[in-house]
Structure 1
């Protein structure tokens, strides 16, 4: 056992909490403008957890103690220097609208694997990680700016440009460790943090800032926790709904020191004792794109598989009928395009493969859905389509090929798919999932065969 492996155990035995040190930031001008940030937090709705009701499946109250005790933001309000938000400015070669860049690059992929689950305390944030760590620490004292699984990091793009200002949209993948020794690690991973900032091109002034976890879907948080002190210990997984987790500036940044026309420091209050009011010029944007377009650019940067458009369930079948295409539908326990765990392997391998992308764009309308949302559909027509999906579903992910009328003509479970692709080619008996010699990657070859088999079966259905 190496020192890093022994460290969590030593922390458990001694109860000693390491002191988190920060890398030195560049020296900030104490007279620079400051920005007040307000945190709004509503805790996870425990009843939305799928499996982890008290006593169910042997889930102990102690395992969820860190989650249950997190009922409010750690720091409801914080004052930061405008210059600290310099990290959000674009690099010099990224000044076109919607052209994404990485604030914090992702260092993980399907080949590097993932980071250890058995950790309690975040690594020391460095460089541009520092401001994001400070912001997320307003929610909870143990944010991990780099997630255990890909895609990590933070990506941004310019949404609007004026003579002196940028409006920048951003997306951050981060997670929190809710437990400390002697309890075992409990990971809380919001699907994503997104938001935007309006700041001057020299970062001396921030007009507005907002960061939030989207809450429009019925489930938006992934949770994983260990039942032992080693990496090989059993891990429980669940998902749930977080109503509110957001940071917002209370107003534009203002000078911390006010000077008169002669350069003398003035009192921040007028003779009557009232705070001096600042008047800010209106920003006239010269060029801009919509929030939806900016968010889509960031999503594709994080997830190359989204080069294929995935329509909502309620739109996919109408579009398939209009375009005379089949529906490539994925039904999941957790989300496919955020940090939920159930679609992780699928989206990092076959769904972003060039041959798969080409075939999906050419011959299919694609859609993905949460099991919970299909179960709750009220519309009679769509609930009938949903029932056809749910009949074929097995945990955790089911991939399906459907006719425009909703009939499922071909499907495979993600676990079965992974079993097939882990075999040697000569071990695969089924001709349905035989390997093609044109592709070295067995996953791509097998998924291509799955899609092509769906197209072939569709001909038979349409002829009868």
Structure 2
């Protein structure tokens, strides 16, 4: 069993105006499309849960036996239209992923996904995609989705699903696709109705992907932003806390002296920027 020690993270916020980072440079817009007659084979993986704080993965059968519904499935390319924008977009532009297509893919992992999360403070809902890079031949879309799976006697909520979709622009086909729950000390939480209680834990792999995995490198594209920039833009669509200019305690104390402003110290025991808490 994985042994976990949760340390308290001290975050310091200075008084001041909230602001979001946005250093994206305007680019030419492109239109993306897919040939609906083509097919895409996805492999699905859910590894056994390795850890929960209160041992739910041992005592609760549905969580102990949580496994992929369909290890391999052939999808129509039309399903992946859910990840395409309706209009022409530039590098760095964001749009919402259509729920119907995303649900069709998530059901390969577990049969009862939903987007209205059981615990939602108002900033948990969302399915966002971003054009990260393109050249004459290919376009790469990255995305972030918040969802949860209804289990027998409860629900399973991953921290997030992130991923990418690589499109052959000339032939309008899916070249590569991956949707997965990132690793982390904790990367999901669960609610067990029988006990009326929640737990947090770690699962090493929850993933859907094509056999071929290709990501465009910066040297291969004519227009791009980094993966980090794309992820930053998407997380800002979810959490207002990410708009805060967070600084270290040491830096805050220095700023306090210079600006003659008070410091607010906040102690938390979980992440602010995903659903694993």
Q: TM-score, normalised by structure 1?
A: 0.45
Structure 2 gap segments, 5+ residues each? 1-34, 214-218
Q: CA deviation at 1:164?
A: 4.7
| TM-score, scaled to structure 2 | 0.73
Q: Answer whether contact 2:155 2:191 (CA < 8 A) is retained.
A: yes
SS of the counterpart of 1:302? coil
Asked if the contact 2:48–2:65 (Cα under 8 Å) also holds between the matched residues in 1, the reply is: no
Of 53, 56, 73, 2:68 maps to 73
* Preserved contact between residue 115 and residue 126 of structure 2 (Cα < 8 Å): yes
Aligned residues: 232
1:133 Cα deviation (Å)? 1.5
Aligned equivalents of 1:308, 1:131: Cα separation in 2: 33
Answer 1 or 2: which has greater strand percent: 2
CA deviations over 1:205-251 (Å, ceiling 9, x no partner): 01111111111x21111111223xxxxxx720111111111111113
| 1:329-340 mapped onto 2 (5 Å cutoff) | 329-340=265-276
What is the aligned counterpart of 2:234 among 275, 292, 298? Answer: 298
1:87 aligns with 2:48: no
Residue matched to 2:249: 317
Please say which structure displays the higher CA radius of gyration: 1
> 2:237 is paired with a residue of what secondary structure?
helix
Asked whether the equivalents of residues 90 and 157 of structure 1 are also in contact (C-alpha less than 8 Å), the reply is no
The 5 A counterparts of 1:250-329 are 250-251=211-212, 284-310=220-246, 316-320=248-252, 323=255, 328-329=264-265
Looking at secondary structure, tell me which structure has more helix per residue. Answer: 1
Q: Are residues 160 and 78 of structure 1, via their aligned partners in 2, closer, same or farther at CA, if it must alter by over 3 Å? A: same
In the other structure, the counterpart of 1:170 is 143
Specify every segment of 5 or more residues in structure 1 that has no aligned partner in the other structure, as ranges: 1-27, 55-59, 104-127, 180-184, 228-233, 253-282, 342-464
Alignment partner, residue 25 of structure 2:
none
Aligned 1:430-445 pairs, distance under 5 A: none
| Higher RCO structure (Cα 8 Å, ≥6 apart) | 2
Query: Mapping of 1:16-165 within 5 angstroms?
Result: 32-45=37-50, 48-52=51-55, 61=59, 64-70=60-66, 72-92=67-87, 95-103=89-97, 128-148=98-118, 149=120, 150=122, 151-165=124-138
Q: Distance in 1 between matches of 2:85 and 2:264?
A: 37
| TM superposition shift of 1:134 | 2.1
Matched with 1:206 is 174
